[in-house]
């Protein structure tokens, strides 16, 4: 079994993605995150991130299955050989942004579920109904009643969502600038190396 297949077997639902031909990280918008099913993921109610780390020889980013609370796929970014300070800064910012995004949506989704359960219980109680019917099935509200909850939840969290969007755009703008700087630096290094190579290979006159 090859090292890649062994890693995939040990990891289960994690998968890898290739870098672009040009040295340096790709934009997340240009990458398709592959789907992966998990029989245990939906039952795991812990907010912990995956602890898997690929081998140092790995040449790919690794992407896991959606987290059961944040619904986001964790990404472990590839550490290139001879990583420059600028590349390290970019990788750290991208990883930090992934963790920040995961934390926000974990808290938001937990809050949504709790508020939703409270709303349903309160509405059923006002009708003189219990949470479960005579057959033990959980009761639910109709779409018009739930629309009241959805609107109220959005109104309640409007400022928080607005602040999230501002921070999200700020982070992505910084990441995009750093990616451009890394790409330009790598291109300049490639051109310089080729020029020096030709210069050194030219026979003396």
Q: How far is CA 10 from CA 2, 54, 84, in A?
A: 12, 10, 30
| Rounded distance between C-alpha atoms, residue 96 and residue 67, angstroms | 17
pLDDT confidence of residue 76: 85
Find the helix or strand (DSSP H, E) in which 15 lies.
strand 15-17
Dihedral sign for Cα 65, 69, 71, 74, please: negative
User: What is the pLDDT, as a whole number, of residue 99?
Assistant: 93
Q: Are 131 and 121 in contact (CB under 8 A)?
A: yes
Task: Please give the residue that has the higher pLDDT: either 15 or 52.
Answer: 52
Token pair in block for residue 125? 């109680």
Percent of all residues in the chain with a pLDDT value above 90, rounded to a whole number: 49
Q: How many residues does the chain have?
A: 205
Least-confidence region, from 11-25, 44-58, 59-73, 136-150: 11-25
Is 169 or 33 the better-scoring residue by pLDDT?
169
Written in H, E and C, the secondary structure of 17-86 is: ECCCCCCCCCCHHHCCCCCCCCCCHHHCCCCCCCCCCCCCCCCCEEECCCCCCCCCCCEECCCCCCCCHH
CA 3 to chain centre: 25
Q: What does the alpha-carbon distance between residue 41 and residue 36 come to, in Å, rounded to a whole number?
A: 11
Q: What tokens appear for 49 in the block?
A: 């991130």
Indicate the pTM of the whole model: 0.67
What confidence tens digit (pLDDT) does each residue in 60-98 have? 888 888 999 999 998 888 888 888 999 999 999 999 999
């Amino acid at each position: 079994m090859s090292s890649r297949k062994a890693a995939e077997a040990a990891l289960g639902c994690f998968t890898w993605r290739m870098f672009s031909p040009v040295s340096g990280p790709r934009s997340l918008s240009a990458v398709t995150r592959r789907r992966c099913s998990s029989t245990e993921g939906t039952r795991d109610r812990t907010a912990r991130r995956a602890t898997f780390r690929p081998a140092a020889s790995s040449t790919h980013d690794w992407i896991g299955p959606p987290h059961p609370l944040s619904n986001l796929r964790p990404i472990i970014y590839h550490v290139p050989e001879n990583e420059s300070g600028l590349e390290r800064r970019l990788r750290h910012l991208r990883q930090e942004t992934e963790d920040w995004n995961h934390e926000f949506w974990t808290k938001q989704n937990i809050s949504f579920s709790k508020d939703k359960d409270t709303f349903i219980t309160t509405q059923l109680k006002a009708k003189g109904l219990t949470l479960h019917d005579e057959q033990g099935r959980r009761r639910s509200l109709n779409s018009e009643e739930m629309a009241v909850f959805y609107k109220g939840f959005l109104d309640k969290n409007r400022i928080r969502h607005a602040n999230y969007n501002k921070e999200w755009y700020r982070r992505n703008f910084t990441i995009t600038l750093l990616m451009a700087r890394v790409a330009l630096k790598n291109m300049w290094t490639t051109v310089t190396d080729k020029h020096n190579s030709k210069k050194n290979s030219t026979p003396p006159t």
